[in-house]
Amino acid sequence: MQVRKRLVIDVGHPAEVHHYRCFYRELRSMGWRCLFVARDKDVTLSLLRSHHLPYVTLASNRGGILSKIVQLPFIFYRFYRIVRRLRPFMAVSAASLHCSWVCRLLGIPHIAFIDTEYRPMIDPFSLPLIDVKVTPHCYYRRLGRNHFRYVGNHESAYLHPRRFNPDAAVLSELGLSTKESFVMVRFVAWKASHDAGQPRMSDAERAALVRGIAEHKKVFIVSETASMPEWRPFIFPLSPDRALHALAFADIYIGEGTTMAAEAAVLGVPAVLLNSLRVGYCLEAEKHGMLFRYNGFSPQAKLKIEELLSLDHPRSAFEEKHRAFMSDKIDVTSFMTWFVDHYPHSRRELEKEPDYALRFR
C-alpha cells in the first residue's frame, strides 16, 4: 500500500540535485518524507551530502552506450527494491527509464520534470509510461497528452532571487578581492546519451582556450574529466556546492556545459556555450542575448570570447538583457511544490487552466 506524503526523487545528474533541493525542503516542511535515489555521476553524491539531503545510491555512472545498456537490469532491479521498501505515494524524475518502468509496474504516479529535448535513446521507452510531463515553456517539443508547461526553467528553481543568495565569502575563499575579475570555465565528459555524435573540443583546443582567457583574467575550471597537467593551477579549488556561489560573481562563463551556461544566464553572467546541442532553455537565453552558442571552439567563438574579455565590466553591459530575460519567470520551486502536494487535484487544475502556473510569479 502506498503511503500519502512519501516521495521518491530520482536523480541522475548533479543539476538535478540543485533542481530538487529547495523543493525537498518545502515538502519536508509540509510533512512529506522524501528520499533521493541517485546515480553516482560526477559530483552528484557530493552535492547531496553538502546539502544534507537523504539519499541512497542506485548505481555508479558508466561511460559509453553499451555499458549503460548492460547495467540496466541491475538498475531496474535495485530501483524496484528501493521503491517497494519505501512505498511512496509518488515519484519524480527527469523521465528516467528505470523510474518510468518501475512506477508503471507498481502503479505509482510518476511526474517527470523534463528540460532536455534530444534524448532519442531514452524517450521512446520512457515517455509513454509517465503520468505527467512538466516542462519549461521554452521546451520546443510537444509531448502529447498530460504535457504541461510553466514560464521558467530548471535553473530558476534554485537560482530564483527568492531561493538563492550568493555568498560573497566565496571570493576570499578563492583568494580574490571583491573587484577582481575572473571567468568560470566548464568542460564535460561527453558521456551522456544526448552527447552521442556531437562535435567536441580537442585537448589542444581546450588548452588554447584556457591559455587565452588566462592572458586577460583569472580562470577557474570546473571539469567532469581528468585534468591535463597545464590545467591544474586553474582547477576550481573549493567543494562542488560552492561553484554556483562563485559563478554568481564571475564576469563571464565559457564552456561546454549547457546547464552551467543556463545557470550563468539566470545569474546575469554572459555565457559562451561551446556545444552544438539545441536545448530550449539555452535557445531562450540566446534569444535574450544572455548566451552565445557555437559549434565548438570555432573562429566565431574565438572572436566572441575576445570581445567579452576586452570589456572592463562585462556584466554591466548585460544588465538590461538580464532583467528582460528574468522578468516573466515564476518561482519554479513554489509551482513544483504545489503540483506535487495537491496531486491529482493540481493536474486537473492545469487541464482546466493551462496558465495556472503564472500564479506563482
Task: Show me where the domains of the chain are located.
Answer: 3-160+329-360, 169-326
- Residue 244 main-chain phi, psi, to 5 deg: -70, -35
What is the Cα–Cα distance from 136 to 153, expressed in whole angstroms?
A: 5
Give the pLDDT confidence of 53-106 residue by residue, as tens digits.
Answer: 999 999 877 666 677 777 888 999 999 999 999 999 999 999 999 999 999 999
What is the Cα–Cα distance from 90 to 191, expressed in whole angstroms?
A: 29
| Per-residue DSSP letter, 235 | B
Q: Say yes or no: do domains 3-160+329-360 and 169-326 share a fold.
A: yes
The pLDDT value given to residue 88: 96
- When mean pLDDT is compared across 46-55, 188-197, 275-284, the lowest value belongs to 188-197
The pLDDT value given to residue 224: 81
The pLDDT value given to residue 261: 98
- CB neighbour burial string for 208-243, b if at least 16 within 10 angstroms, e if fewer: ebbebbeebbbbbbbbbeeeeeebeebebeeebbbb
pLDDT beyond 60 at 1: no
In what helix (H) or strand (E) does residue 216 lie, and over which residues does it extend?
A: none
- Nearest by Cα to 209 from 256, 277, 141: 256
The pLDDT value given to residue 5: 93
- Residue 271 main-chain phi, psi, to 5 deg: -120, 135
- CB neighbour burial string for 54-70, b if at least 16 within 10 angstroms, e if fewer: ebeebbebbeeeeebee
pTM: 0.93
Q: Report the CATH architecture of 169-326.
A: 3-Layer(aba) Sandwich (3.40)
pLDDT beyond 60 at 31: yes
Mean pLDDT of the chain: 92
pLDDT beyond 70 at 226: no
What is the Cα–Cα distance from 358 to 70, expressed in whole angstroms?
A: 43
Pick the CATH number of 3-160+329-360 from 2.60.120.310, 3.40.50.10800, 3.40.50.1820, 3.40.50.2000: 3.40.50.2000
